[in-house]
A and B are shown apart, each in its own frame.
Chain A
């Protein structure tokens, strides 16, 4: 029985068509991920060598004045790419993953973007994540929409009802063959990604795999439910496709639009203006006041006193510091808004498996917006560290030759994610379960 059904399954033209499409797009999506990863890695390597060159050149240009040298010197802070990012590129192609910052005011530097073609960003990436979220449901639908109705329309269903022990079991067998097929293809996709993108077998990778399988299962549950409503093939096709359109295209777009409108981000512009003005107005205000504020922030530097005659680097860097300090509220306001967007997205996404899977993949692959915000906050810390280390050397007017600038090596950002699998799959699991039990429930009398 099983072997006959399997044979029958593989004789279907659609199956081979689906398989062919998946192989081509799978290969394509994995190479997209690979290209993304290797481009970033290459850029990082280049940046690190460039950093050494930069240091050397600047030291040659500004041999005697440490204040001036520190004005030009830039330090590298990198958000490394994980192999898992190749599966779900997420928001990481929109945001800069390397910060090359000088010890001047940071707020004007850290939001600078990378150079990327907006056309590319707008059409989005065809990565493995997209393939799973967007195309796998379609495949599940194509394989299953006429599972029962086709037999009914051809008149074979009656024979099955008469001849088999349980027609329901027969249906389940047919469904399970398709399930195994799709699961195998999905497994193949992950295995190939693992090998080509060099993903280690970690807990994170397993979570992505588990969630993807559950997601595919959700679509099977939905198909199962629709099949058991026992409508015609074309009605099934149209209602399943309509749900796909709704869940994968229309609702995400609407929800994203809704979130943007609920939390419009005006703070970005306000912050920019504020940080510019806060620094520049200090050129015209009382020097002592500026220095007092500066010492308020860093009391341990107070020993450098109040030198208010003419230009001094102490005063200059204090002014720069004020640019950051005075725009802190605005900056935090911006981050809070972004966090609110993230929280609301996650809250809504719980109820929609495609959104849930996409956001979870981004979180795990460290390609989400909040990962970027964490990176920015870490940049602030990194920047402060370098700043506080260099400040005394400038204020004591060390000669550049005696200062060990080489010790400021490029640093890598280490991010922590606490991702709870159970919390994130709970509702998807419940929705699938409800669909299945509902399908069975309305058919109890047919099959018993």
Chain B
């Protein structure tokens, strides 16, 4: 009996909302835009994917077609990594437009990831990225507010709320009924978006086992949770407002504050409190560290002289020319080891300062469900901050392996008499270029992402709990 009333009220709200033709038009428009965004995003993704693959192969082909060479020449020939994008970027492009797409990996030099999409775009790009998540995170909440702002307050204004109340329906039931109705209406909007998500997951699921399905499932759950929270918030604000104008104004003000102002402010404040090094300072910090440890290019460097002496001693020879392996190759491998450590150390510090900057946003997820869904959605779509830094570390690991591979070849095959890397005398067979490992990018596993997003998930659940408590006590709300 009790639940019947809730369902009845919900159905009534649903029917009433759709009695207006304008809403149907809005729904059709939304679905049309959604379809356009999905198809368009998908095509762009496929094109980009093809482009990346094409250039990746081209770069590798030219690497492999090198003739016999001195291995150090190959170490500087280097390789490019063009970042492959996660298929779910069609759903939520997250930071993708702002993160570098190509990185050049060579011996003893760490380059930045360059050519982000935004860096090649005009000022218009700063208005935002068009993707399914934008529609769900920014536009749909506004639509929910527009549909739901009058849900209870208009009944108050008409005087019908009193009548419903007198018939023995509690405020709690009215509230739940309206939320149910509003949620059903919003479901008509977000279900097509989730269908788009699942079709991406289904069609792009070539070699990723059930990863994509798992991700899509978690994304679906989080958005459903988010919209439940939003529907509750809308109806509660409608119930607590004096008149419908005020309800609309508070909801819109809230949208502006929570969806636009707070996210921007949080990042600005974050970078103000925890500034990070500029590139020149960053390079300087590394140079100072390297100079402290010793310079492998300097023949009289005490650090490297010590290494030389101990190597000579263990091999029982008096000069480096007599060593059974190429000494300069050995020296470079030592230098690489040392400078890579220093770089990693500084780079970690840099990432830490970014993380500190982001910590304000990440902390605010508890107060702002929009930030929560934004972070969660980005994370699960493989386009968040953590995914990017993870990409950078993978490239650095690969760069290190590639350089050491060449240093090992040099130690093994190049004579100690070699004076330089010029000419056709001191060379290594070209078959070794083919044997060099390829870069294999691995996305962050879902489990790992979820570990990073624990607070976010918690935040959404806390919000759900909070509004359920409010609903429980809603019988105290004013009826008149």
Contacts and interface: CB of A to CB of B under 8 A. Distances in A.
Contacts of A142: 249
Contact of B128 (A35, A111, A252, A264): A252
Contact of B121 (A57, A96, A120, A369): A369
A69 interface: no
B116 A113 contact: yes
B122 A233 contact: no
A269 to B, nearest CB: 4
Contacts of A349: 124
A118 B385 contact: yes
Interface in B12-28: none
Contact of B263 (A117, A123, A253, A260): A123
B337 interface: no
Q: Determine the main DSSP class of B at the interface with A.
A: helix
A266 B51 contact: yes
Contact of A256 (B59, B99, B130, B146): B130
Contacts of B120: 265, 268, 338, 341, 369
Contact of B122 (A61, A121, A254, A341): A341
B77 interface: yes
A238 B121 CA distance: 33
A122 B278 contact: no
Given A118-B385, A253-B134, A256-B127, A43 B280 contact: yes
B102 A256 contact: no
Contact of A115 (B130, B282, B358): B282
Interface residues of B, number: 95
Interface string A16-38: 00000000010010001001000
A277 B59 CA distance: 9
B281 interface: yes
A118 B102 contact: no
B267 interface: yes
B473 to A, nearest CB: 29
A234 B123 contact: no
B54 to A, nearest CB: 8
Interface string A119-134: 1111111100010001
Nearest to A254: B130
B268 A115 contact: no
A358 B124 contact: yes
B271 interface: yes
Interface in B51-95: 51-52, 55, 58-59, 62, 66-67, 69, 73, 76-78, 80, 82, 94-95
Nearest to B128: A253
A118 B98 contact: yes
Nearest to B146: A238
Given A61-B297, A241-B252, A122 B62 contact: no
Contacts of A253: 127-130, 134
Contact of A368 (B116, B123, B134, B256): B123
Given A100-B280, A238-B146, A252 B98 contact: no
22 contacts: A43-B278, A43-B281, A46-B278, A50-B280, A90-B123, A91-B119, A108-B104, A113-B100, A114-B279, A120-B268, A123-B263, A125-B264, A126-B265, A233-B245, A245-B139, A253-B134, A264-B44, A264-B48, A268-B115, A283-B422, A342-B122, A358-B124
Contact of B97 (A43, A122, A259): A122
A90 B119 CA distance: 11
A188 interface: no
Interface of A: 25, 28, 32, 35, 39, 43, 46-47, 50, 57, 61, 90-91, 94-96, 98, 100, 108, 111-126, 130, 134, 138, 142, 233-234, 237-238, 241, 245, 248-250, 252-257, 259-261, 264-266, 268-270, 272-273, 276-277, 280, 283-284, 310-311, 338, 341-342, 345, 349, 355, 358-359, 362, 367-369
B117 A115 contact: no
A250 B32 CA distance: 14
Interface in B264-284: 264-268, 270-272, 275-282, 284
Given A91-B126, A234-B244, 11 more contacts: A90-B123, A90-B126, A112-B111, A112-B279, A113-B112, A114-B279, A125-B264, A259-B121, A276-B77, A277-B62, A280-B73
Contacts of A134: 260
A114 B244 CA distance: 49
B113 interface: yes
A139 B118 CA distance: 30
